[in-house]
Amino acid sequence: MDERLVAFQDKMEKSLKNLDEEFGSIRAGRANPHVLDKIRVDYYGTPSPLQSVANVSVPEPRMIQIQPWEASLVKEIEKAILCSDIGINPSNDGKIIRLVFPELTEERRKELAKDVKKKGENAKVAIRNIRRDAIDHFKKVGKAEDISEDEIKDLEDGIQKLTDQYVGKIDKAVENKTKEILTV
């Protein structure tokens, strides 16, 4: 691969990785500790990631268990979970917080599947924007550095192949996540 395409491939890879992270935060009826990734807990005045102040485990397929390193954090963690958008009420026994994930209704599954498709489309738009930026870049550099039109055409073909490859990866990720959500 032409080294001039590598920078644009890195950007496309980051877009794909971002989509994977977004998909990780969508709960599909099963307990996934990644739904807690964006939650911050007030730890001695500093907003800290939940995973850095507690042990997070999945003892059952539909339950997440959170065991804070310090008992005084139970209330703070509960408050952070209630303020977040995961939509689950935590229960605690004074030492351990449990999040029980209810079965998703058919309607909610369809809503989540639509959301997954929308996130996939946004990722494809990002990939196409990277392609457009790359083509603009090649045309500018071509004029400035006196690169032949054939060489510019080859670079454009290369970026198109990369675009097609990453759009295919996004389609596959959307398909897999949709299947996961719609599986009861």
Q: What is the pLDDT of residue 29?
A: 64
Q: What is the pLDDT of residue 87?
A: 73
- Average pLDDT of the chain is 86
**For the chain, which ranges sit under pLDDT 70?**
1, 27-30, 184
Q: What is the pLDDT of residue 121?
A: 94
Could you tell me if 30 and 62 are in contact, meaning their C-beta atoms sit under 8 angstroms apart? yes
DSSP result, 81-145 = HHHSSS----EE-SS-EEEEPPPPPHHHHHHHHHHHHHHHHHHHHHHHHHHHHHHHHHHHHHHHH
Spell out the domain ranges in the chain: 3-25+105-182, 33-100
Q: What is the pLDDT of residue 164?
A: 93
The pTM (predicted TM-score) of the whole model is 0.69
Topology, domain 3-25+105-182: Topoisomerase I; Chain A, domain 4 (1.10.132)
Q: Which CATH architecture has domain 33-100?
A: 2-Layer Sandwich (3.30)
